[in-house]
Chains A and B, each alone.
Chain A
Amino acid sequence: MRARQRNSLPLVGRVGEGSFLSPPFTDRMNDQIPKGQGMATIAAETEENGQSARGGRGLRLSPSAISYLQATPLIAILGFFFLLPIAMIAVVSFWDYDFAGLYPDFLTMNYTDTLGSWVTWKTYVNTLKFTAIVWSLTLVIGFWVAYFLAFHIRRTSTQMILFLVCTVPFMTSNIIRMISWIPVLGRNGLVNSTLIQMGIIPQPIEWLLYSDFAVVLAMVHLYTLFMVTPIFNTLMRIDRSLFEAARDAGASGWQVLWNVVIPLAKPGMAIGTIFVVTLVMADFSTVQVMSGGQSASVALTMKNQMSLLQYPAAAANAVVLLAVVLLMVAAILRVVDIRKEL
């Protein structure tokens, strides 16, 4: 079969059109296989043919060798720019340092300094507080936005357009989106001046900008999209007949939501949670800009140590932060198998 039609590219072109199962073609295929063998066998055979044909001209490669070759660029990049740097951080966290440079050593000083200080613990509590608040807000907002898009918009094209409307800001600069709150929340900003003009408040509210409130607001603004997308994705895959079945069995609207939709949306929520939790735990720019330097986060501490060239201290902090984040992700991964959800 292969040999005969070696150069029949025009036919290949038509294969993509879905015509490969048209009667004449399938008949011909059936002629070529002994009775009793199903489609599965054909698939297996062609798979083998295809694999060996890959190396047909010149050198012959086994399927797994091809996989390795294809994965090599990814392995190389992640190896050099991700795994090596993380290993390097672990090593450097034991080094000695002064203002002039780093000295290879095996000291636990960087860790005892970090973990022995009250400031570190307070910073972790503060970061975890931001994470908890932002996570719960983005989860609730993200779920209802995704729910509305998935179940209340009937036309697919409208659905895609509204989904894009939600996604586009994600592709613009985080810093610009942060700055854009300044004219809204500032002392003479839109909110304050409107409230004063309406006579609701006598003088500007001071805690709108440069406060923990502003940090949380900006983070929700930046990160809700990471929740909307995976939840929308899982909601779209729910079989709608389940709702009818639940209703026929006498479930109320809330019962359907609580016992059918939410359990089935859990994988999406888990993936969104991974994104939001890791982003907030790692955040320093939002905390710095929106709190006006009045609030702290672990990553901000690291950033300050880095600007003072205290790399080993920052590295010790990084190892602790990394351990905390990975433990959180591992806990979330118990709820969801990412490979199955893609």
Chain B
Amino acid sequence: MSHEKRGLEFYLLAIFFIVFVLFLYGPLSAILILSFQGPDGGLTFPMNGVSTHWFFNLFEKQAVGDFGASFRRSFSLGLMVMVVTVVVSLLAGLAFRRRFRGSTVLFYATVASLVVPSIIVSLGIGVVFQEGGLKPAWYSSAFGAHLTWTLPFGVLIMFAVFNRFSPAYEEAARDLGATSWQTFRHVVLPMIAPSLIGVGLFGFTLSYDEFARTLMTSGTYNTLPLEIYGMTTNVTTPVLYALGTVTTLFSFTIILIALGIMTMLSRRQAKTD
């Protein structure tokens, strides 16, 4: 394992790893290339010329339904889910630092929310809204449905973070006379900030791409993944790939921004050490 020389095992596993990465990214790059298909090109290779025709096509309403509006809905929903996930997970993480009556039940309820099939949660919320006389909408029922998927991730991450967090820092701050709020704001928060960005990233991307839980809960207006799912059955031009390219690049941008903030925060943390 910690060999001095790279053995045969290393090269075999390195090849395996490279094949795995190609397997992950290969198909994605195929639709990236095909989205630049010429105006007469089809859904498969070969390329029939190179153009940005399908990207322009994307923004014409009649071609793909209302892509812009569904994108705006998914984006706002992602932001809402992100903020709530970060705040609620942080609070729950703090709560779980002490054992309280019912903490085990709450913990397993959180895990259950992760393992219960998405479509069941979707159906359940749909029926609750229908029987309760509430109107399902992306900002109410779908919002809640997404939270049942993002919160377990957030809570488990915070749980792991606080498992490794030494209480010595807080004790020292308190000994120096800091109030609970000061201890939290100036000691705890800066140390867990990178993890909180991570939770936010999970919250946003999981919601932005969420599909099965939105199915029964989105109400009248579609979110972007629902719109794309609808397109898989009735759109037969490379505009589908153009949409895939645009949303994937958007996801990559979000991930890069979040990673950038995370490295910046941990560098700042390291500098003060």
Contact = CB atoms under 8 A, between A and B. Distances in A.
A176 B247 contact: yes
A9 B116 CA distance: 46
A181 to B, nearest CB: 5
B264 interface: no
A182 B43 contact: yes
Contact of A5 (B159, B176, B205): B176
Closest 6 CB pairs of A and B: A85-B124, A282-B117, A5-B177, A81-B144, A70-B95, A180-B27
A204 B45 CA distance: 14
Given A77-B148, A82-B148, A152-B13, 18 more contacts: A6-B177, A16-B187, A49-B174, A71-B91, A85-B128, A148-B17, A149-B17, A151-B2, A152-B14, A172-B28, A173-B208, A178-B232, A179-B228, A179-B241, A183-B31, A240-B1, A285-B211, A338-B111
Interface string A92-127: 100000000010000000000000000000000000
Contact of A15 (B21, B172, B252): B172
Q: Which of A3, A77, A164, A326: most chain B Cβ within 10 A?
A: A77
Contacts of B255: 168, 171
Interface in B189-241: 190-191, 201-202, 205-206, 208-209, 211-212, 215-216, 225, 228-229, 232, 240-241
B168 to A, nearest CB: 7
Contacts of A3: 177
B67 to A, nearest CB: 14
Nearest to A20: B172
A102 to B, nearest CB: 7
B68 interface: no
A321 interface: yes
Given A43-B167, A77-B151, A86-B116, A285 B212 contact: yes
Interface of A: 1-9, 11-13, 15-18, 20, 29, 42-43, 46-47, 49-50, 53-54, 56, 63-64, 66-71, 73-75, 77-78, 80-86, 88-89, 92, 102, 141, 144-145, 147-149, 151-152, 162, 164-166, 168-169, 171-184, 186, 188-190, 193, 221, 224, 240, 243, 253, 256, 274, 278, 281-282, 284-285, 289, 299, 302-303, 306, 311, 314-315, 318, 321-322, 325-326, 329, 338-339, 342
Interface residues of B, number: 113
B120 A282 contact: yes
A256 B259 CA distance: 36
A251 to B, nearest CB: 12
Interface string B88-127: 1101101110101101001101111111111111011111
- Among B119, B212, B273, chain A packs the most CB atoms within 10 A around the CB of B119
A81 B125 contact: yes
Contacts of B215: 303, 306
B160 interface: yes
B56 interface: no
A299 B216 CA distance: 13
Nearest to A77: B147
B174 A11 contact: no
Contacts of B1: 151-152, 240, 243, 256
Contacts of B183: 12, 50
B121 A289 contact: no
Contacts of A176: 28, 31, 228, 244, 247-248
Contact of B115 (A53, A174, A189, A274): A274
A29 B175 contact: yes
Contacts of B232: 175, 178-179, 289
A311 to B, nearest CB: 6
Contacts of A78: 106, 109-110, 113, 148, 151
A88 B127 contact: yes
A240 B9 contact: no
